[in-house]
Amino acid sequence: MPNWAFSICLAALFRFTQGIPLPYGFAVFSISFGFLLSLLIKESAFSDKTEYYFYYNVGATKIKLFMFSLALNIILGAILSAGYAYGR
């Protein structure tokens, strides 16, 4: 959730200052800065490290989880960008 909230705020900021369309800005920031922010929050000393036990029991590693999350963000960003371009 911090990814989307951060991405919406950045996209709105760039919409008003640079004129970048909101859906396109959201897609770009969701893939890049929002994803990195989510990783930093998740791996910080303040988060609960026991949340990974479920994934360890299934056989997934942290690298697999991060790669899946990144792939999902890229796919979502591509769909949003393509939808915006098609709708224009």
Which two structure tokens, joined as six digits, stand for 13? 């900021």
- Supply the pLDDT for residue 1: 64
For residue 55, what pLDDT band results from cuts at 50, 70 and 90?
Answer: low
pLDDT tens profile 10-47 = 888 887 777 777 777 888 888 888 888 878 877 776 66
Taking residue 50's Cβ as centre, other Cβ atoms within 10 Å add up to 7
Burial of 53 (0-12, 13-18, 19+ CB in 10 A): exposed
pLDDT tens profile 66-84 = 888 889 888 888 888 888 7
